[in-house]
Structure 1
Amino acid sequence: MPIDTGTLESWAQYESGPIDSAKRTHSRIQKELQSSETLAHADFDTYLQGSYANYTIVRASSDVDIVVQLTDMYYVDLSGLSPAERDHWRRNSGDPDYSWHEFRSDVVDVLESRFGSSAVDPVGKAIEVEAGKLPLDADVLVCADHRDYYHYPNGYHSGIAFFNLNNTKIVNYPKQHINNGSTRQSSTSNRFKETVRIFKRARNYLVDNNELNKENVPSYFIENLLYNVPDGRYTYNKQDRVAKILRYLNSTDYSDWTCQNGITDIFGSGPAEWNTRYAGRYIDAMVTLWDNW
């Protein structure tokens, strides 16, 4: 039988408390970075990203994702330009005075001085800051501007770039993700984000019952998957909605879908892409859960 209405209502629930705690965590880290003499010479922006920013958080204990974005310089992808445009860009560009690696090192120093070195773990793509002086644990992603050029000088997608432990550049577009999610929320009569929460809490249920490995089904990709489902599947009745979405996902080739940012692919072999095999296992597990509830 289908998942009962009471469970779906519970899984759809939005909790304002964790969002408020995330905002206070961001404000505190932003204040400490902006007031530091170490970073006084740098132009940067800070903002929330991820489930807290998108209002799709389902577990209050989740770390807060905070972006610290250097705007003094930018990285580029010139592959979309003609040879003449690439030459034009090179003639008008020089080496930056302040790199992402230097900026990240300075951010680590400030966080350690303000929150204590024992509370800060800089190893990994994000700097982990433990709660104590903060309402919630935080993952601070230090990045720089990125321009994905398709025409020079003014045709480009604005994103962020950072480097992993193998010094591989990773590019993403968090602001487009947030904006497009808000647009989809409106076009589905405010049903998109609660549906994401339902599917994420169902994932957690399956993980808790050893039906899935959470590492293979990140929340980010669940949201991207549901973003591609047509608006017409987001019906008023939650049982009808979930059934229609599962039928659509179970009968559709989603291998060429793009992320919620509208720019990058969901699936592929890159460090910021998903595996269709994991997506298929998640959808199969969801269908089984729905049928056997």
Structure 2
Amino acid sequence: MAKFTENQLNDYRYPPSYTEEQKLANSETQVKEAIKGSSALRNKTTKTFGQGSYANDTNVKNNSDVDINVRLDASIFVQLPNGKTDADYGYSDSNYTFSAYRQDVYHALVDYFGSKYVKDNNKCITILPDSTRVETDVVPTLKFVRYDSETAKVEGVKFISNSGQSIVNFPLQHIENGKWKNSQTQKRFKRLTRIYRRIRYKMIDDGIPVGDNITSFLLECLVWNVPNSIFNDYDNWTDRLKESIRHIYTKTTNVEDCKNWGEVSELLYLFVGRKWSVKDVNDYMLQMWNYLEY
């Protein structure tokens, strides 16, 4: 007999409660107010928006926090085609560096929330929770322009961690693609993603040694790579979950079968330059299958 009933899986598909959702929304609003009120940033062109599970509507009950991107558009990181220079595309160096911008965002948050609530971390600036908001990770970024050919380009974001690591992602494309797949699967893409995330938390709570590389982001990307037929051709969550695990496990048994899998944005490969490996995923799928007693 399976570990969780159909009714339990059905419950796991739901997002946070209204009260939690309100705190999530408050967090984003407060960050926007902090940036708007900064004298150093007031005349800069910035865009503040949610990303991660909150913005993608895949967060789960009682494990909700917020990732907020504060993107500066005045200074830009560019990845040009081979043999091309900034001058070929009209780009010029800016005197306003990323490190200076990150400091301005940090000070804007301290001025608004108070220093006791703001913690400067390696990849983000964390705002601690209070009665009106959840814990919030603010990521200062610059617009990133990647030329895939001399004329074709895509826009994302890039930032540099305090340890010097450069990180590129495409959060807005991730959001749009997630909406699209959700519409193609009768809203089951995001619901199945929540089920995967809830089970991971259950495994951790039950003392199962889930590897640090198995992140919530990775789980969403794995569900993204599940064929729409698995969402649409089965009439219950037990079968959708079982068949999706079976698919991911089978495809990650051989690296060649999943080497072209992308993250949800479909602008970065899922298994290139990541902290997780194909073997990590394959091992976890077996671990998850056994935990669920299938």
Q: Same fold (TM over 0.5)?
A: yes
1:15 to partner: Cα distance: 2.7
Is the counterpart of residue 35 in structure 1 residue 37 in structure 2?
yes
Determine the structure 2 residue equivalent to 1:243: 242
8 Å CA contact 2:15, 2:61 repeated in 1: no
The normalised TM-score by structure 2 is 0.91
Give per-residue Cα distances to partners, 1:7-55, cap 9 Å, x unaligned: 1112112234223321111011101211221211211000111111111
1:213 to partner: Cα distance: 2.8
Aligned length: 285
Supply the distance in 2 between the matched residues of 1:32 and 1:241 (Cα, whole angstroms): 43
8 Å CA contact 2:261, 2:269 repeated in 1: yes
Is the counterpart of residue 207 in structure 1 residue 204 in structure 2?
yes
8 Å CA contact 1:207, 1:214 repeated in 2: no
1:82 to partner: Cα distance: 4.3
Q: Quick one: which of 93, 96, 117 aligns to 2:94?
A: 96
Gaps of at least 5 residues in structure 1 are none
Q: What one-letter code is carried by the residue in structure 2 that aligns with 1:222?
A: L
1:214 to partner: Cα distance: 5.5
Q: Which runs of 4+ in 1 moved over 4 A?
A: 88-91
The normalised TM-score by structure 1 is 0.91
What CA RMSD, in Å, does the superposition of the two structures yield over aligned residues?
A: 1.8
Distance change (3 Å), C-alpha of 1:291 and 1:213: closer
Q: What one-letter code is carried by the residue in structure 2 that aligns with 1:114?
A: Y
1:283 to partner: Cα distance: 0.4
Determine the structure 2 residue equivalent to 1:123: 121
> Identity over the aligned pairs, expressed in percent?
27
Supply the distance in 1 between the matched residues of 2:131 and 2:101 (Cα, whole angstroms): 23
After TM superposition, the structure 1 = structure 2 runs for residues 1-293 of structure 1, keeping only pairs within 5 Å, are 1-2=1-2, 3-17=4-18, 18-78=20-80, 81-83=81-83, 86-87=84-85, 89-90=87-88, 92-132=90-130, 134-152=132-150, 154-213=151-210, 215-234=212-231, 235-252=234-251, 253-270=257-274, 273-291=275-293
Which deviates more from structure 2 when the two are superposed, residues 30-39 or residues 103-112? 30-39
8 Å CA contact 2:16, 2:64 repeated in 1: no
Supply the distance in 2 between the matched residues of 1:70 and 1:150 (Cα, whole angstroms): 22
Q: What one-letter code is carried by the residue in structure 1 that aligns with 2:133?
A: P
Q: What one-letter code is carried by the residue in structure 1 that aligns with 2:8?
A: T
8 Å CA contact 2:14, 2:61 repeated in 1: no
Supply the distance in 2 between the matched residues of 1:268 and 1:61 (Cα, whole angstroms): 28
1:209 to partner: Cα distance: 1.7
Supply the distance in 2 between the matched residues of 1:263 and 1:220 (Cα, whole angstroms): 15
1:238 to partner: Cα distance: 1.0
Supply the distance in 2 between the matched residues of 1:4 and 1:164 (Cα, whole angstroms): 43
Gaps of at least 5 residues in structure 2 are 252-256
